[in-house]
Amino acid sequence: MSEHIHGDNCGCGHDHDYEYDTITLSLDDGTELECIVLEIFEVDGKEYIALQPQDDEEEDNVFLYRYIEDEDGEPQLVNIEDDDEFEAVADAFEELLDSQEYEEMFDDEFDDDFEYDDEDEQ
C-alpha cells in the first residue's frame, strides 16, 4: 500500500493546491506537534509512515514510524528501535521520493519549454 499525501510544505518538490492529512504527535515533554502525512509505504511486509512537522521551516525534517492499525481501525505509530530496520525504511522512503520526482519529470517531458540538445546532429 502506498499513498502519497501532499501538503504545501511536504518537501517532495511538487506544487500542491489541495488538502492533506495530518497527525498530531504527543511528544515526551507533553507538547503536541502537528505533522503532515507524506507517505504510507511498505517495507518487508510491514507498513511505515513518513511525517513532516507542519510548521517546519527547513522542510527536510521527516519522522519515520512503523504504522499499524489496532483492532478498532485506529492508527498506531510505533518507534523503529532497530538501526538496520530504520536504515531500510529510510532507504525505501528516499527511493519513493526519487521515483516520484522521476515520474514528474517525465510527466513534463512534452512541455513546450522542454528543449532538445541537437548539436551533435549538425
Encode the chain (122 residues) as per-residue pLDDT tens digits. 333 344 444 444 544 444 678 999 888 899 999 999 999 999 999 999 999 998 866 667 899 999 999 999 888 999 999 999 999 999 999 999 888 776 776 665 545 454 545 555 44
Taking alpha carbons only, the member of 79, 68, 66 closest to residue 26 is 79
Half-sphere exposure of 28 (CA within 13 A, CB side): 1
Find the Cα–Cα–Cα–Cα dihedral 58, 9, 76, 28, rounded to 10°.
Answer: 30
